[in-house]
Amino acid sequence: MDIGVVSRSFPKLSNEEVAALLAERGFRWTELCFSQTDSNYWRYNGRSDLSDLTDKRSQEIVETYCKHGIEVASIGVFTNLLESDEQEMEANLRYFERHMQIAAGTGVPVVATECGFIPGKRGIQADSYEKDFERFKQQLSWLGERAGHYGIKLALEPCVLDVVPSAKRTADLLAQIGSPHIQVLLDPANLIANSSEEEMFQYLAPHLAYFHGKDRKVNDTYGRCVGDGDIDWRKLLNLYHEQAEGVPFILEYVNIDNFCEIRDRVIAFDQTR
C-alpha cells in the first residue's frame, strides 16, 4: 500500500531535506503546507504574508519533491472560513486564492481546508449555527468557483469539532452547493465520533480527493497516531481497497521520530485485514 506524509511533520527540515527523507524511506505522496525552514508560511486557521512566495519560488519547491519521486497530492491551506469580520474574511479568501494560483501553476491537483473556526467558539453553537453554516457555505461556494477557474479541486476536511461534523452533513453540504470542483479530504479520526467507518465511505466515497491517516479516541478532542485510537483500521482499509483504491493516503500527526513506525502499522493492518 502506498503511503505519504504531510510536510508539516518536519518543521525543522528544508524542503530538500524532507523530499530526500521521504524518498529514502519509500513514501510516495505529501500534502505540502509550505511549513519548512525555507518556506515558513503555513499558519493554521490563519494566514501569513505570501508576497515573497513567487511563482518561480513555488515552482522550485514543488519540483524539489518531484525530482525525488514524491508526488505533491495537495497544498494544505487550512485558513478560517468562518471569520466574522468582513475585511478579514476577504483577506482570508484572497490568501486562499493565492494558494490556488500556486497549485494551478505547479501542477498540484488539490488545495485543502477545514471549515475554520472562531477561537473560543469552535464547533456548533445552537444560537448561531444556521447563520454560521450559511456563511461557510457561501465562502465554500465562492472557492469552488475559483477552483474551477484554475482547473483544480478544493478538498474540504470535515470534523466533529466544526460546523460540518459528520459524513452525512458533508454529503448534504456538497449536494447543496452542487460544485464538481469541491471534493473531500477524509480524515477518519475527525469523523469517528459521529460516523462509523462504513458511513464514511457510504456518504463520501464518490467525493474523495485524499485521506489523512490519523486516529482518535471517540471522546478525545485531539487526534492520535494510527493505531492509538478507536478506529477499526482493518475494516477501514478493507473499505479503502473496495471503494477508493489508489486515492492518496497521507499520514498526519506523525513526526521525524515515528513516521516510519506509524507507516509500518498501517501496512501491518493492511496485511491482516
CATH number of the domain bearing residue 115: 3.20.20.150
What's the rounded Cα separation, in Å, for the pair 169 and 191? Answer: 11
Provide the CA 216 distance to its chain's centre, in angstroms.
Answer: 16
Q: What is the mean pLDDT of residues 235-256?
A: 98
Residue 42 CB partners (closer than 8 Å, separation 6+): 8, 33, 34, 35, 48, 76, 78
Domain count, the chain: 1
What integer is the mean pLDDT of 203-209?
98
Task: Taking the CA atoms of 123, 89, 156 and 103 in sequence, report the sign of the dihedral they define.
Answer: negative
Residue at grid coordinates 470535515: 158
Q: What is the pLDDT of residue 196?
A: 98
**pLDDT for 127-157, tens place per residue?**
999 999 999 999 999 999 999 999 999 999 9
Q: How far apart are CA 147 and CA 257, in angstroms?
A: 36
Could you give the CA distance from residue 103 to residue 92 in angstroms, rounded to a whole number? 17
User: What domain range is 22 assigned to?
Assistant: 4-271
pLDDT, position 26: 98
